Chain A
Amino acid sequence: MSIHRSTPRLSRRRFIQASGALTASAVLPTALFARTGGPQRLVVVILRGALDGLAAVPPFGDPDYAPLHRELAIASPGSPDGALALDATFGLHPELQFLHERYTAGELVVFQAAASPYRDRSHFDGQNVLENGLMHPLGSADGWLNRAIAARSRTSRSSAALVGRAVAIAQNVPLILRGDAPVLSKSPVAAPDVDEELLARLQDLYSKDDWLSARLSEAVQSEHLGDASSEAQATSPMASPAKPVDRITASARMAAAIMRSDGGPEVAVLEATGWDTHANQGAAKGVLAQRLRGLDAALRALGNDLGPLWGQTVVLVVTEFGRTAAMNGTRGTDHGTGGCAFLVGGAVRGGRVISDWPGLSTASLLDNRDLKPTLDLRSVFKGVLDEHLRIDAKTLAARVFPDSTQARALDGLIRA
């Protein structure tokens, strides 16, 4: 593929000077991530499609588990293809090797029977509630993580840049990161250099169009972020990896490269699809097992690539809801309610399962079908934002999670 290049080609420096007058927000790439807070890092991984929490975190110690989940149930630790033991009740899916290592190292908290406040079973509304931090799917165009970053910028003593406190590893910013605080988006589709003179002229052409102008400035600033990772991962430079299992690793490596860069952002969001296992879900092997192996490999790559930053890092892995406790008629599971979540990283006070386990007996299921949620995910989010990003309780209650008095922040998730 050839790209037209006009001549003379402006240097990046000259481009920035040339367009500086038009774009007050344009800053040098190195100043992009000027920090106002500490060196903490937060990565949120959203699993879209509803992960089966009873396969990822099998409650093998519950006598109702195997009869309900049937062919999809993961066997007890010690049996062939059995779960990786966490405690007497819970294990991890055998493909979650890295997570299990982190559990043993005291760097993983597993949440079971958790859910957002959403109680219906639409993916799309469920994801909205997970991301907007409210009680209802509609009514908010911004996400809780963006509100948290914006609130922190307002209360921070330093007046340094508001720009680039967060990055979405995607072409477009997901709801959780949309809002007032500026957010970069950067996808692992490797883009060759765009003609810089064209960019300068476009910036000029967008001068009366705030919406396009702001986006182009951000794009120019983040153009070379994470280049190291795209070199590392790309055999085919144009297309993102074809399989979701590989895409998530590419995204994780890009997040690590960007966060590691000089003054890199504190917050990153990644997404992975392919969890909606209505048919032929499999157990220790099969479709879901492959997805979990991909997720585990991505988290391992994130850890490796973050290197020394891992000690300051918290990775939150969440999904919109769990799936039915019983296998359905097509060897899969349908949309449910309570599910699992993970908190992993060098800054996590882990080696624990946090679950007020409701059990899987018929009487204890929600609507006779779903694992009953006993932990509000907002309690986890609030705990992380409080202890890790140091956002005070008042701000969390007023701005970030309104209507969340029922969901008190979980204490002690982060190492002191």
Chain B
Amino acid sequence: MDTVVSVAGLRKRYGSVVAVADVSFEVAEGEIFGLLGPNGAGKTTTVECLQGLRRPDGGRLRVLGLDPHAQAGQLRGRVGGQLQESALPDRMRVWEAVDLFASLSPRAVDPDALLAEWGLTDKRTAAFASLSGGQRQRLFIALALVNRPDVVFLDEMTTGLDPAARRASWSLIEAVRDRGTTVVLVSHFMDEAERLCDRLAVINDHRVVALDTPQGLIARYAPEVQVMFHTDQADLSWLSSVPYVESFDVRGTTATVTGRGAVLAHVGAALVARGLEPDDLRVRRPTLEDVFMRIVGRGGE
């Protein structure tokens, strides 16, 4: 696998405000790579540097083997970007925008098919100003993909989309990757990152503080599984001897057991062996959100 994006020791400050202190990561060809972190952590600055929109103060950046700032011309047409804050002229129509951006690249996709994919066919002749937030967002993603880029940077692409549109976008992004585009995704939606990303870097306080697959991050930072059930039995001290159980807590009639690995199966078996058959036995597996809260602490959002 070739490395498509590499960032080594990126630093960037705006005046006296540090935006990126030390960010390094590599993205392999065909990956969906996520940058996750609280607001103001430096995610957007990082991808803006990678798109050649900002000049880094230090560090070495390579996109498709080229310097995004010095060799911007050669990268033109091979990179797509959807920016967090951008706009089109108010009175520009949707089809005009797609047509304009398609004219930038000889290998552009069919504009009508693209509009259909992103659910904008009936908005073809609508002015940009008349689009809803979600429609604008989908238009920007479509514009980022119109030149069939080798690598695309999506900065909070599903912000402003309704839940159904978010889910639809995820499938479309996976389809884009399957067609050979490497995706770098900035997000602060944990479900989105967990669902889409092959690997992700957690950025906090302007540095990369963790970098792994979503499952790897969960196993390392939030390995505890919680098993919960209702019971009338007062004495549950036998739970401590069940394999994989680390601790338990009883509040009223609700028992919460914390453990690792196969704790659910063993607690279930132990319950049945003691003649207890709670019909609400349930498990809460850790998610990326738990990882995020643990790493970022105070919570961010």
Partners in one complex: no
